Structure 1
Amino acid sequence: MLYGETMGTRWRVSAVASTNVDLHLLHHDIQSRLDVVVAQMSTWEADSDICRFNRAPGGTWHVLPQAFFDVLRCALDIAEASGGAYDPTIGPLVGLWGFGANGAGHRIPEAEEIAAARARVGWRRIELRAETLSALQPGGVSLDLSAIAKGYGVDAVVMCLRERGIAAALVDVGGELRGYGHKPDGKAWHVLVESEEESDDDEPCVLVLESGKAVATSGDRWHRFEQDGRRYAHTIDPRSGRPVEHAPASVTVIADTAMQADAWATALTVMGMQDGVAFATRHGLAARFVAHAEGRIDVRATPTFPQPPAA
């Protein structure tokens, strides 16, 4: 077991490796891959590539590092597919409500402030040039990849482990997971899904993770605030400019990459229980929703979400 810190959370790798593998070197390689993600995509680092892009004048094109470009392209694809429920240009709204690196304390903004921030949000404003790995800063756009970069970090670590000849591993970065191969006993990786449910007595969701698959969970159990008896979630709906109302307590998504699972979990959270379940079912997404309704826990899963293993 190897572990460390990144992106304000912890990473952990359970690796099935031969006895001649230098674990100290492997740890260094894993941490280095994650440090690259932070250097490119963290809004908490003033000198990161994403912060430099966000500060750039309007109408300028910027050559991005390959990883940054790939994540942004995936983010824009999911923004389009989700009808804007997920939007990587949501930065101004996140900060306005007091969340993220640019938040100045939780508060309820005035309608005029929300309108002004929404005018700077819109994934369609970003243009990419694949041949030069370039992105257009149209002016005033503030990218926030926090709902996808952590997932990409998991994928980057998996790629690192495969390159180092590690036969099998389970990678966890702040609760976003991806596994490949099998445990030493030949069995598949079993993972506990973060339920975000209120009670410690709730039964956890256990998944048998198919080799190569990833799982991510979005939820507002810890990231929220209350004012005047009303709860405000940290998940902002880019379409309204306001925190999602009646958001599911958690949404778990299984996908081919942790990057995709991470972003789709956010998109489905924004859609809400009813619309999210319908959308995920219609599009074949493997998703599990948990919500609180009239004093009870409401759990729904799409047909493609795997059943828990038999006890």
Structure 2
Amino acid sequence: MRTVLVPHQIAVPPHDERRHSGAITILHGQTMGATWTTNLVLPDGANAEDIERRILSNLDSVNAQMSTWLPTSDISVFNRAPAGHWQDLPDDFFHVIQTAIDIATDTGGAFDPTVGHLTNAWGFGPITNPFRIPPVEIVNEARSAIGWGRVLLDVVNRRVHQPGGAYLDFSAIAKGFAVDKIAEDLLSQGIRNFLVEIGGELRGEGFKGGDQPWWVAIESPDIESQSLRQSCDFLIALHGLSVATSGDYRRWFEIGGKIIAHTFDPRTGLPLANRLASVSVVAKSCMKADALATALMVLGPADGISYAERNEIAALFVIRDGAQLRPVMSAAMAAMT
């Protein structure tokens, strides 16, 4: 049976927007090790090439600030900086790290932007390492450098302090932020009807034509093949909403018949082994949905559901029960059915 999720309020589109029904422009490319796609209903006088240039400029800006794969990025400069260094930050970077630290604090470190050394140790980061199960001493060394509380922010001067050895990694929040950045830029240009997607994180505004919102199937893992499929079981109308998914099927490697997924518990230094196959979060901000999906994935079924309920987060948990996948919705998500 299909579950259909809709926002609590959907504004009826003006008559002049309904006449654009079916006239959808699709722009796409690659960024952040993933693909990006933007579907737009262009208003009269809008130029698709100009819009694409602005999207690419926004993506370049996010990468130049937050990509650990670029040695000249702001985040890479911070990661190489000596202990005691204060680094001035661009506004976007400061906004992301401030949000990341807030979520890390609130989740007790289930989400932690200083997890970079651990990501590198297991072979998922920019530091050249093969996919491997690292020695215990390497994991312990990486864990010793983790700790969002060690990274101090100067809110007045918009700068960050390197305590020594801290390695930031925004891979669980930057794509969501980039989706929001593109969406806000489109809205600033008077474009009200679009769907933005980067690496499976999405935000929809307005309508895709006529009076139909942007219908999106929520990702779900395929238990047979350790890969994703587009679930026909959960369909959501992204009208002024974002959805982000964290799952153990997105990036992984296999050693000795054991699946090692790319999401780690910063508190233990180990890959997750908590029966969660995926968590999808629905929120206005794609950046927050992105980070919260990872945090809930790390917290696991019991603590994750409890956290979602306490904080009124709309979340879908897909739990592995033996050979079955069992979906569980938080109350805020169930209220959208």
Quote the residue 1:267 is aligned against: 295
Q: In the alignment, what sits opposite 2:144?
A: 119
- 1:305 paired to 2:330: no
Count of residue correspondences: 308
The correspondence for 1:205, drawn from 225, 228, 234, is 234
Change (3 A) 1:201 1:174: closer
1:194/1:204 contact within 8 Å kept: no
Q: Give, in angstroms, the shift of residue 201 of structure 1.
A: 9.6
Rounded Cα–Cα distance in structure 2 between residues aligned with 1:224 and 1:9 = 15
Letter aligned with residue 81 of structure 1: D
2:104·2:111 contact (CA, 8 Å) conserved in 1?
Answer: yes
Alignment of 1:227 onto 2:255: yes
Moved more, 105-114 or 40-49: 105-114
Aligned residue for 2:221, secondary structure, equals coil
Report the Cα offset of residue 308 of structure 1: 7.6
Find 2:95's aligned residue among 65, 70, 75: 70
Shift of 1:307: 6.5
Distance 1:122 1:266, change over 3 A: same
Aligned equivalents of 1:203 and 1:26: distance in 2? 32
* 8 Å contact from structure 1 (residues 247, 269) kept in 2: no
Q: What SS does structure 2 have at the residue aligned with 1:249?
A: strand
Matching residue's letter, 2:262: H
Q: Pick from 218, 237, 260 the counterpart of residue 246 of structure 2.
A: 218
Shift of 1:274: 2.2
Structure 1 residue 38, shift from structure 2 partner: 0.5
Q: What is the DSSP-based 3-state SS (H/G/I as helix, E as strand, rest coil) of the residue aligned with 1:194?
A: strand
Q: CA deviation at 1:298?
A: 1.0
Is the CA contact 2:219–2:230 (under 8 Å) kept in the aligned structure 1?
no
CA distance in 2, matches of 1:202, 1:2: 24
Could you tell me which residue of structure 1 aligns to residue 164 of structure 2?
139
Counterpart-to-counterpart distance in 1, 2:303 and 2:218: 22
Whether contact under 8 Å (2:275, 2:321) holds in the other structure is no
Aligned counterpart, 1:286: 314
Gap regions ≥5 residues in structure 2: 1-25
Moved more, 196-205 or 83-92: 196-205
Map of 1:7 onto structure 2:
32
How far apart are 1:202 and its partner, in Å?
5.9
Aligned counterparts, 1:1-311, within 5 A = 1-199=26-224, 203-209=232-238, 211-306=239-334
**TM-score, normalized by length of structure 2?**
0.87
1:73-96 per-residue CA deviation (whole Å, 9 max, x = no partner) reads 000000011110000000011111
1:96-127 deviation line (CA, Å, top 9, x unaligned):
11112125012222222221111111000011
Query: How large is the RMSD of aligned CA atoms in angstroms?
Result: 1.6
